[in-house]
Structure 1
Amino acid sequence: MEVSELLNNYEKGERDFAGADLRGANLSGAILIGVNLSGANLSGANLSRAFLTKATLKGAQMHRTNLSFAKMGETKLSGADLTKANLSGAFLVKAKLPRAKLSGANLSGANLRSAVLWNANLCSADLQLVNLLGANLTGANFKWANLYGAKLN
C-alpha cells in the first residue's frame, strides 16, 4: 500500500488497514488516531512524531521501526514485534503491550506509565530514564536491559 493511498483513505474516514504492507514507509508526523494496523508490516517504517493514540497494532511487524516521540497513548500492541525499534521519547501511557517483542528496542525516556507489559520481551532493551510507574510488568523479561534512572515504583 502506498503512503498517499493510506493517508487519503484515512482522511475520508477509513480506519481499518489491517494487514497493510507499509515496509519502509515514511509516516513521520502522520495523524492516524484510532487506526487499525493489526498484522500490518511496518518494518523499517518511519513513524517518528506520529499520532497513533488509541491505534490497534496487534501482531504488527515493526522490526527496526522508528517510533521516536510518537504519541501512542492507549495503543494496543499485543504480540507486536518491535525488535530493535526506536521508541525513544515515545508516549505510551496506558498502552497495551502483552507478549510484545521489544528485544533490543530503544525506549530511553519513553513514558510507559500504567502500560500493560505482561510477558513482554524486553531483553537487551534500552530503558534509560523510562517511566514505568503503575505499569503491569508481570512475567516481563528484562534480561540484560538497561534500567539506569528508570522510574519503577
Structure 2
Amino acid sequence: MTGLDLSGLDLNQVELTEANLNGTTFAESSLQGAKLRGTSLIGADLNRARLNGADLSGADLIGANLQGANLAGADLVGVDLRGAALVWANLQGARLRGALLQGASLRGAQLKGAIMPDGNVQA
C-alpha cells in the first residue's frame, strides 16, 4: 500500500498496525486515535494531519513531513523520526521516550508536557 494519496480523509480510530505506507500522503487527514504501531511511514506526507491520541509506537517515520501536524497526546515511544519535519507540530503531552530525533526539525513545535526521548518532561 505504498505511495497512496489519502489526503483529507476521516480515518479516525483506523487500525493500520505494521502496515507498509511508505510515501503515502495523509495531508490534512484525520487519524485521531488511530493505531499505527510498528507501521512504516518512511517519507510519508502527514502535513497538518490530526493524529491526536494516535498510537505510533515503534513506527518508522524517517524523513516524514509532519509540519503542522497535531500529535497531542500521541504515543510516539520508540518512533524513528530521523530527518522528519515537525515544524509547528503540536506535540503537547506526547510520549517520545526512546524516539530517534537526529536531524529532525522541531522549530516552532509545541512540546509542553511532552515526555522526551531521555524521559524528561518538557515544561
Common fold: TM-score over 0.5? yes
Cα distance between partner residues in 2 of 1:72 and 1:142: 22
Secondary structure, counterpart of 1:79 in structure 2? coil
- 2:68 aligns to what? 99
- 1:84 aligns to what? 53
Return structure 1 stretches of 4+ with deviation > 2 angstroms.
none
Structure with greater proportional helix content: 1
CA distances 1:25-62 after superposition (whole Å, capped 9, x unpaired):
xxxxxxx1000000011100101101100000000000
Q: How far 1:130 sits from its partner (Å)?
A: 0.4
Cα distance between partner residues in 1 of 2:26 and 2:117: 28
* Aligned residues between the structures: 119
Of 96, 102, 106, which residue of structure 2 is paired with 1:127? 96
CA spacing shift, 1:148–1:133, aligned 2, 3 Å? closer
For structure 2, the residue ranges without an aligned partner over 5 or more in a row are none
- 1:34 aligns to what? 3
- 2:42 aligns to what? 73
Are 2:100 and 2:117, in contact at CA under 8 Å, matched by a contact in 1?
no
Q: Which has the higher contact order (CA 8 A, sep 6+)?
A: 2
Larger Rg: 1
* TM-score (norm: length of structure 1): 0.76
For structure 1, the residue ranges without an aligned partner over 5 or more in a row are 1-31
